[in-house]
Amino acid sequence: PDNVLDIMMNKNITRALKANGLSFPSIVLASIFSGVLLSVVFLFLFIGFSAFSDPKNPVAGMLNTVLTLVVSLVALQMGRAVDVEEMHENVERLEQDIMIDIQDTIHAVLHQVEQASKLISQMRLEGGEERLGSDAGSSEVSSVSSSSAEESDEQ
């Protein structure tokens, strides 16, 4: 059923993400940290611009330019520190781990369904035998009662 598959997929994806350090709280903390870091960079730039913002002084203008270039270069180096190839490999590895985990879960559920099916069919067979036995018992009772009725008629 679609509902069961959706539930299994969501639980397994969540479990695999948590196993690889990508739980909801860690993502929220990383996002907050990035936001705070961005705010600090803007604060640094605005304070630097206000400290060196004398329109008549060419040195102040050059300091503002250097300040902007330094922040840009630091941000560029931080961006280069993340290896794109490694990131893609990590995403593919995580994807494979999730798929293997989902396959294992599906096999376990399939095994449980097969066992339940066997149990149900066994219960139906046992229930059918009991019904047959009770039908045979009732036919024995009716044959006994009919034979005793015939005996009483003969007397």
pLDDT of the chain, 155 residues: tens digit per residue: 677 777 777 777 777 777 777 788 888 998 999 899 888 888 887 777 777 677 777 887 788 788 888 888 888 777 766 677 887 888 888 888 878 877 887 888 888 888 988 998 988 888 765 554 554 444 444 443 444 444 444 43
Distances (CA, A) of 79 to 24, 59, 60, 87: 24, 30, 29, 12
pLDDT of amino acid 150: 43
CB 101 within 8 A of CB 12: yes
pLDDT of amino acid 22: 77
pLDDT of amino acid 9: 73
**Residue 139: exposed, middle, or buried by beta-carbon count in 10 A (0-12, 13-18, 19+)?**
exposed
For the range 57-66, what are the long-range contacts, defined as Cβ-Cβ under 8 Å and sequence gap of 24 or more?
none
